[in-house]
Amino acid sequence: MAVALWPSLIRPLAIAMWDFSWLERRWPGAGYEDWDGVLGQLVERGYDAVRIDPYPHLLAVAPDREWTLLPCWNQQDWGSPARTRVTVREPLLEFLRLCRARGVRVGLSSWFRQDVDDVRMQIRSPRDHAAVWIQTLRVLEQAGLLDENMLYVDLCNEFPLREWAPFLPAGADGGAFRRDAPEGAAWMAEAISAVREAYPDLALCFSITSEYDTLLQQDVSFMDLLEPHLWATHFSDFYARVGYHYEKFETRGYENLVANGERLYRSDPDHWARCLREGVERIAAWSLHAGKPLVTTECWAIVDYKDWPLLDWGWVKELCAVGVDAAAATGRWAAMATSNFCGPQFVGMWRDVGWHRRLTDRIHRGRFPAAAG
């Protein structure tokens, strides 16, 4: 299945995660006001691809409606920190045409953003899940945009985290719905099967960032690729020692990052680099075991960071470079990001054009996975 995924690719791609920011962050100074201009900056930095949210649950219900979206946080710089309004179909088609004109390939994913009517909760089964994607892909097909520029489709970001998939039922034992339980594999397999029946030439997956202790036991036979999101914080006690707990609507987490983050990293950078390399090797071994190529769009140093008083990007860029080098050396990644901050809203990271070019060059020099053709 994976052998003929991307026959035109001869080297790994450098991919940036522009998530739902591409559409929501369009107020003055938010980063994405001028799509053509910022795509030009992306190419200048050496990136070949972007991963974006086409809002499939909204597009399927009413493609031209103006939707009012609620913020999933106000502490992070992905998406809007407050209520905002968007329409989806025409902006999506315009953005994809600009990507194609620039030679930027596109991965589609969804965070299933919450609108005021919470229409995402209309998804009650794997078939419902597949149906919103089939309808979305049909819109792209009718516009002539479902071509080789489409890299892959991730049916749900970081499945099965409830933040992004609140429509999932409870697990069979009444607890959390888990990917490594029979119901998790069944949901993913059925949803992918339905989309594949309609669009057999697309590469399909579910991205993940949890349940890493059972990777080798998980059934991923129905996926064309694996998209794990991984950071040094996954494979260490860094956040516990810093005192960061993914606070969404208050500043304590960032105050603790200011007080402790760089200081802790600088106390033993070799230790944190070793934790990251061990995590990369674990993911690469899973890819080899499963016989599937890897794509990673969120990665390496730390999950959450931003331009903020007394926060410096230097140590984050240093550790991200460790991750890129480690992943490229495995020969298992078909595409990878330099971090999950490779977008224009992260000004301190984005303006360092040389850093981006050095890392995207390293990505391009990596070996392309044999299983990906």
Residue type, 257: L
**HSE-CB for 120 with a 13 A CA cutoff:** 21
Assess if residue 354 is contained within a domain: yes
Residue type, 178: R
What are 296-307's pLDDT values in tens digits? Answer: 999 999 999 999
Structural domain tally of the chain? Answer: 1
Average pLDDT over residues 18-35: 98
225: tokens are: 């690729």
User: How many Å apart are CA 353 and CA 31, to the nearest integer?
Assistant: 16
What are 82-135's pLDDT values in tens digits? Answer: 999 999 999 999 999 999 999 999 999 999 999 999 999 999 999 999 999 999
CA neighbor of 184 nearest in space, from 129, 111, 134, 113: 129
Residue type, 266: R
User: Is residue 345 within 8 Å of 266, Cβ to Cβ?
Assistant: no
Instruction: Specify the pLDDT at position 7.
Output: 84
* pLDDT band at residue 151 using 50, 70 and 90 as cut-offs: very high
Assess if residue 1 is contained within a domain: no
Assess if residue 247 is contained within a domain: yes
371: tokens are: 């299983």
Assess if residue 140 is contained within a domain: yes
* pLDDT band at residue 173 using 50, 70 and 90 as cut-offs: confident
User: How many Å apart are CA 213 and CA 312, to the nearest integer?
Assistant: 32
Only one residue has tokens 């792209």, namely 140
Quick check: helix, strand or coil at residue 60? helix
Region of residue 211 (phi > 0: left; psi between -120 and 50: alpha; otherwise: beta): left
CA neighbor of 276 nearest in space, from 312, 310, 238: 238
Angle at 226 between CA 222 and CA 231, to 5 degrees: 150
* pLDDT band at residue 5 using 50, 70 and 90 as cut-offs: confident
Q: At what angle do helices 314-330 and 269-290 cross, to 10 degrees?
A: 30
Average pLDDT over residues 190-202: 97
pLDDT of 331 strictly over 60: yes
Instruction: Specify the pLDDT at position 171.
Output: 84
Question: CATH number, domain at 222?
Answer: 3.20.20.80
User: Is residue 153 within 8 Å of 107, Cβ to Cβ?
Assistant: yes
**Bridge partners of residue 150, in order along the sequence:** 106
296: tokens are: 């990673």
- Report yes or no on whether pTM surpasses 0.85: yes
Residue type, 19: D
pLDDT of 348 strictly over 50: yes
Assess if residue 2 is contained within a domain: no
Instruction: Specify the pLDDT at position 277.
Output: 98
Q: Which domain holds residue 117?
A: 13-372
User: Is residue 199 within 8 Å of 137, Cβ to Cβ?
Assistant: yes
* pLDDT band at residue 373 using 50, 70 and 90 as cut-offs: very low
User: How many Å apart are CA 292 and CA 287, to the nearest integer?
Assistant: 5
What are 267-308's pLDDT values in tens digits? Answer: 999 999 999 999 999 999 999 999 999 999 999 999 999 999
User: Is residue 153 within 8 Å of 213, Cβ to Cβ?
Assistant: no
User: How many Å apart are CA 303 and CA 245, to the nearest integer?
Assistant: 11
Question: Cis ω on the peptide bond leading into residue 166 (within 30° of 0)?
Answer: no
Average pLDDT over residues 151-173: 95
% of the chain exceeding 90 in pLDDT? 93
Strands in 4-149 per DSSP E: 13-19, 49-52, 67-69, 84-86, 105-108
Average pLDDT over residues 205-212: 97
24: tokens are: 């929501």
% of the chain exceeding 70 in pLDDT? 98
pLDDT of 367 strictly over 80: yes
Q: What is the DSSP string of 235-263?
A: GSSHHHHHT----SSSTHHHHHIIIIIHH
Residue-averaged pLDDT of the chain: 96
Assess if residue 5 is contained within a domain: no
255: tokens are: 């105050």
Instruction: Specify the pLDDT at position 82.
Output: 98
Assess if residue 188 is contained within a domain: yes
User: How many Å apart are CA 285 and CA 325, to the nearest integer?
Assistant: 16
Assess if residue 7 is contained within a domain: no
Instruction: Specify the pLDDT at position 4.
Output: 57
CA neighbor of 158 nearest in space, from 327, 296, 290: 296
- Greatest pairwise CA separation for the chain in angstroms: 55
Instruction: Specify the pLDDT at position 355.
Output: 98
